[in-house]
Structure 1
């Protein structure tokens, strides 16, 4: 409920537009092996994640932000549930505070309230790790067979990387335990499964779109990510960039690991062993995904549950002065979180149009509760963490999201522009918008199939014969100054994806 609170008819923005468009076309034309845009198969993803959105959209009769976000919300809830089941036998407090640290992580917040294939993969990977651990520690060997369908699900959601990451995380557990037979047996089985899945994917691609489409699948799902043609970053990006993208969990986890190495390494126990397993699994994710040149912060989401568990480990350790300092520091930070957010909102208040009085009242109430619970030693840490989580999510949902959706709105201009096209039907030309870029953000707001004309150069645009409707960025329109098209006045001007856009009507020659 937290992950989907306030979501139903919100406008679709940003990266979500692509997946909502996939689901819209599937809702109009029926399921397919690959999602489609403009009626053509799209090579970068299989249709598994789109099928989830499609199924959840059927009761509504349309794709909305709730049905689009629910798969991610379910994935986040699965991670929370499995974290509690994993840690509660050691300590319910450790479990709750690990979950709280994860819920306070920026990347987790943004990905749960969006269409996030990487969060779905994180749920699959953590479930595989949990099943491997539970087989040895919770006498749950009968559930071992669930790992196979989970690996298949991971491949369906994220392609080859969706099978490799869960496999690597579970193999790291076998490696730490020196279970060589399981390590090699499971690793070889997973490699065979990966080969079969890749072969099936390429066969389905060839069947769906022919050899050219199959080559696009290889380029986009395999080679493009490895060689950096889809966007490259440095080899240490995940190790350095995660300090901000995965704060507070990542910096705290690093600090805890240093303290463990210096002070607690000679005190082995089940809890410390679990920290070792989580460290190895997180390291596998970070090192493994550092090999491909294409890197984005959300790709390493599968490591986040591990980092949160490590970061909350000081609350599981009863002895040690340094661990006591860490506990005190974290609780101090959680204590002042509502007040810090109030100060932040006061600083940016003039730039916001939304009234903040009710939010200030709620944050003030949470701050008062936090101070009141400061002296309840038994539940102090959990209570302070819960107050911090509620304050952070409140500000994100009620302040940040509305501002972000207003700045990057595309629905208002798109529907107004298409209303002109419907009143006076003529081809729609999208100039300089990119078939797989801003054009997607226009198409997602149109409730029917449409085949626009795409132009990128002024020469191509000038060759368009009227009548036609021309949509473009204000800067591209300004570049037409001195031409015939530049002399045509816009029939519509407005904001589109944080830019000024215009719609021009080209009459018959």
Structure 2
């Protein structure tokens, strides 16, 4: 990277890690933090573990990165959990700037701003996201492929194949396929047939070899049944839809919202390539369009689809969306420039409106945030006035309005949205109370109606010790469990059980857990659940 690109990446890294502290974990992060906690307690392995058993959906490398970041602290917290993702996101930002800056510094800065204003990129950056780490590898592979003329064929392969290997180590087959597709696009565009053929064969051989090694490590870790589960979770389940299915146009339709503002604005910007002479800028845009299509079309083949799988497309869409700022006075380019600047101009006002709607929907939650809300509101007003003041000045107008939009969106997210979400979906306080009750008078803990890989994970991630809870989903299973034991369940199910079985004792604890009301009961005589209701 150049010095400017490195400065942009470092500034982005600071932004991505602002306020990353504490031990309260919500949402999808719970799974990865639990992986890292168990790795800290038991040591690294080829696969992460939950409940002391290997987990088949991910290789252990992404958890190992969190483990390394947590070692100096002696524990896992938000900072150590988010650090690998934040570094990958910052690398993507720096590479986005580096790709465009030789053509236009303004275009490069606006591409970075558009990337930072992309919805899924923002939410995944402030989380544990293996897909963002793969996206960074994909951007680096794309960068090398765009500069293929500078390297001999062997030198290009020496740069690309290790990136594919790193992607597989992080994410399995999906982590290799995405960077490979992004690297193929510039080679195809430049008609480097020999390089494309050799690279494609190398990628296929690497995929086959890594797949065999992955299954061998799975057999070594958990035996033949676990190896089949790894194959199902990482390959066949995604292809045949048994791990969830969406229609073939999911990515193209869903990206209009999931990857706004970049993707919806990139679609009309592609028309600017019509009848445009070949030059380095149009070559970059065509390569970005082709690489994004390869990612989106390629990942549309498997039945299982999730918005985060195509995160590698976000920087490419940001570059294409801001292409009108490079093109001259063509009518469409002028219209798109004005549209983009208008959206950036009103974004502080839109975020302010969102805060107001949030206050009406969750008044108690936002009131509890105190000074954060008022700081956010004041900052948004200042940013809106700042953007309006730049409107009639031609010098750096687009860059400054974009800066105001970025600060407004990220400020609203960091000061209001993220803290409110943590208050709504917090599970730590109740989990620690349950753990203290169980430790005070030891007995087995039964989690009732809680999925082993769903809400139960959100309970386990808050514990600082190993626990093997039992799982039940019906009164018959409760009757079959040896008592006495503790029973954790939501209040609605508890009320139903107490109505059906009056001998059931009153709850020992009640509290909020993952935006719901949960309680803890002690069951001394499980045979009551076998009686006629």
Q: What TM-score, normalized to structure 1?
A: 0.96
* Superposition pairs of residues 73-472 of structure 1, within 5 angstroms: 73-136=86-149, 145-261=158-274, 265-350=275-360, 351=363, 352-353=366-367, 354-355=369-370, 356-472=373-489
Which secondary structure state, in structure 2, belongs to the residue aligned with residue 439 of structure 1? helix
Residue 70 (structure 1) aligns with: 83
SS in 2 for 1:434: coil
Question: What are the Cα deviations for residues 108-145 of structure 1, in whole angstroms up to 9, with x where unaligned?
Answer: 00000000011111001111111111233699995752
Instruction: Please say if residues 414 and 446 of structure 1, whose CA atoms lie closer than 8 Å, have aligned partners that are also in contact.
Output: yes
Give CA deviations for 1:161-212 in whole Å, capped at 9, x if unaligned: 1111111111122111111111111000100011100000000001111101
Distance apart, 1:483 and its partner CA: 4.2
CA contact 2:61–2:170 (8 Å) conserved in 1: yes
Render the CA deviation track for 1:96-117: whole Å, top value 9, x for unaligned.
Answer: 1011111001100000000001
- Tell me how far apart the structure 2 counterparts of residues 397 and 447 of structure 1 sit (CA, whole Å): 27
Distance 1:413 1:486 in 2: 25
Distance of 1:139 and 1:96 partners within structure 2: 31
**Any conservation in 2 of the 1:87–1:94 contact (CA below 8 Å)?**
yes
Counterparts of 1:232 and 1:142, CA distance in 2: 40
| 1:193-239 Cα shifts (integer Å, max 9, x gaps) | 11100000000001111101101101111111111111111110001
Residue range with higher mean Cα deviation, 135-144 or 396-405: 135-144
Range 31-40 or range 251-260, more displaced: 251-260
SS at match of 2:303: coil
3-state SS, counterpart of residue 480 of structure 1? helix
Does the 8 A contact of 1:134 with 1:141 survive in 2?
Answer: no
Q: 2:45 matched to 1:16?
A: no
Q: Distance in 1 between matches of 2:114 and 2:242?
A: 35
Write the distance in 2 (CA, Å) between the matches of 1:483 and 1:397: 46
Are the counterparts in 1 of residues 112 and 318 from structure 2 also a CA contact under 8 Å? yes
Q: How far off is 1:146 after superposition?
A: 2.7
Q: Secondary structure at the match of 1:472?
A: strand
Classify 1:92/1:442 alpha carbon distance in 2 versus 1 (closer, same or farther; 3 Å).
same
Structure 2 length as normaliser, TM-score?
Answer: 0.92
Aligned residues: CA RMSD: 1.7
Query: Aligned partners of 1:182 and 1:144: how far apart in 2?
Result: 8
8 Å contact 1:227–1:292 — kept in the other structure? yes
State the distance in 1 between where 2:485 and 2:495 align.
19
Gap runs ≥5 in structure 2: 1-13, 527-533
The separation in 1 between residues aligned to 2:353 and 2:300, in whole angstroms, is: 37
Could you report, residue by residue, the CA deviation over 1:23-43 in whole angstroms, capped at 9, with x for unpaired residues? 000000111011111111111
Alpha carbons of 1:480 and 1:100: their partners in 2 closer, same or farther (altered >3 Å)? Answer: same
What secondary structure, in the 3-state scheme, does the structure 2 residue paired with 1:436 have?
Answer: coil
Alignment CA distance shift 1:438-1:347 (3 Å): closer
User: Does the Cα contact within 8 Å between 1:492 and 1:502 map onto a contact in 2?
Assistant: yes
Q: Following the alignment from structure 1 to structure 2, what is the Cα–Cα distance between the partners of residues 188 and 504? A: 60
Residues 10 and 342 from structure 1, CA distance in 2 versus in 1: closer, same or farther, beyond 3 angstroms? Answer: farther
Partner of residue 498, structure 1: 515
- Conserved 8 A contact 1:233-1:294: yes
